[in-house]
Amino acid sequence: MPLMKQRDELKLVHIASTVWFILCVGYILILALRQAGANWLVVFSLSGHGVLILLVLVSLYLFAIFRGISSSQNVQVEHPLTSTRYYAGFYVTAPLLGSLAGFLGMIGVASVARFLTGIAMGTLGVTFFVWVVVDPALGLAELLLPASQKHRVRRLAKNKALKEQRQRDRENLLARALAKEDSARRGWHEALHPQAEALARLLTDEQADIELAEREAVGIGVDAWRTGGLTCMKELHNMAINLCRKESPKADVVDHITHWWDGIGNWRTTPLA
């Protein structure tokens, strides 16, 4: 039988057995409430909230179990028994086996209520014993085996090596990206020097026509955007401002470039507070 089909069947059986387990637990709770003297109105009001909580818990539980069934084959050496399909079948059918044990134990009982209670208690008892006692104990015993311990050490070491390799790959990728950007900036610094001088002249020339200056600056900004996007525009802007401050260290430089370039590519003017 294909492995995928076996997993699908285990999931379906587990859903059915879990639903049966919930029904048995609900029956026991309702029976306990009735025996304590609660009327049906109280029982139904409590059961509504209880059903919602149970649905959430069961959904989370089934998700964890399905993940466990699908990934248990990856550590067969560490779990030679609990990773087999036979044990998985025994695990997921524990509620059904418990109901069968309860049924056999109640043969001959005339009372229907006692008969159903025996089946429900058998389901609850066997399920609790298998899921809470037997399964953790077997998993711990498997991990204590020498072969399991050796495999676990090798697996953890391999996972650590893979994690470190991925970290090195990310660092190398980042270093290459930074080196590429730094190389591009050095190239831009040489190629954009004439445009930076032109922008600096537009900022410091008090006799220049404002509209003509803005039109020329927009053209320079568009060329910078086409050359290297927003990064290139920022580099050109910084170069122009630095030239202005270098040529006129005592004068206050009004940064009109920020407003002239507003809307070019990704360039946006920061609004004043």
Domain edges within the chain:
3-144, 192-260
pLDDT tens-digit map of 228-241? 888 888 888 988 98
Instruction: State the average pLDDT for the chain.
Output: 78
- Report which of residues 182 and 165 the model is more confident about: 165
Residue bearing tokens 């050796």? 150
pLDDT for the residue 69: 44
Q: With cut-offs at 50, 70 and 90, classify the pLDDT of residue 168.
A: very high
Both tokens assigned to 206: 């008090």
For 38, other C-beta atoms within 10 Å of its C-beta total 14
The residue-averaged pLDDT of 169-189 equals 82
Least confident of 45-59, 123-137, 178-192: 45-59
pLDDT for the residue 222: 92
pLDDT for the residue 170: 92
For residue 53, give Cα distances in angstroms to 22, 49, 59, 155.
Answer: 12, 6, 10, 38
Q: With cut-offs at 50, 70 and 90, classify the pLDDT of residue 70.
A: very low
Smallest CA-to-CA distance from 257 within 184, 207, 198 is with 198
pLDDT tens-digit map of 96-147? 999 999 889 888 888 888 888 889 889 888 888 888 888 888 888 888 888 8
CA atoms of 197 and 246, how far apart (whole Å): 11
Q: Give Cα 82 to chain centroid, integer Å.
A: 27
159, pLDDT greater than 90? no
CA atoms of 103 and 97, how far apart (whole Å): 10
150, pLDDT greater than 90? no
User: Which of helix, strand or coil describes residue 264?
Assistant: coil
Q: Which residues contact 79 (CB under 8 A, 6 or more apart)?
A: 72, 139, 142, 143, 148
CA atoms of 95 and 16, how far apart (whole Å): 9
Cα dihedral 97, 101, 103, 107 in deg (nearest 10) = 160
pLDDT tens-digit map of 80-90? 888 888 888 88
CB 90 within 8 A of CB 129: no
- Report which of residues 108 and 33 the model is more confident about: 108
Q: What is the 3-state secondary structure (H, E, C) of 198-228?
A: HHHHHHHCCCCCHHHHHHHHHHHHHHHHHHH
- Report which of residues 62 and 21 the model is more confident about: 21
CB 79 within 8 A of CB 72: yes
pLDDT for the residue 252: 72
pLDDT for the residue 272: 43
pLDDT for the residue 65: 53
For 139, other C-beta atoms within 10 Å of its C-beta total 14
Smallest CA-to-CA distance from 244 within 252, 232, 236, 234 is with 252
Residue bearing tokens 């946006």? 268
Least confident of 1-5, 94-98, 147-151: 1-5
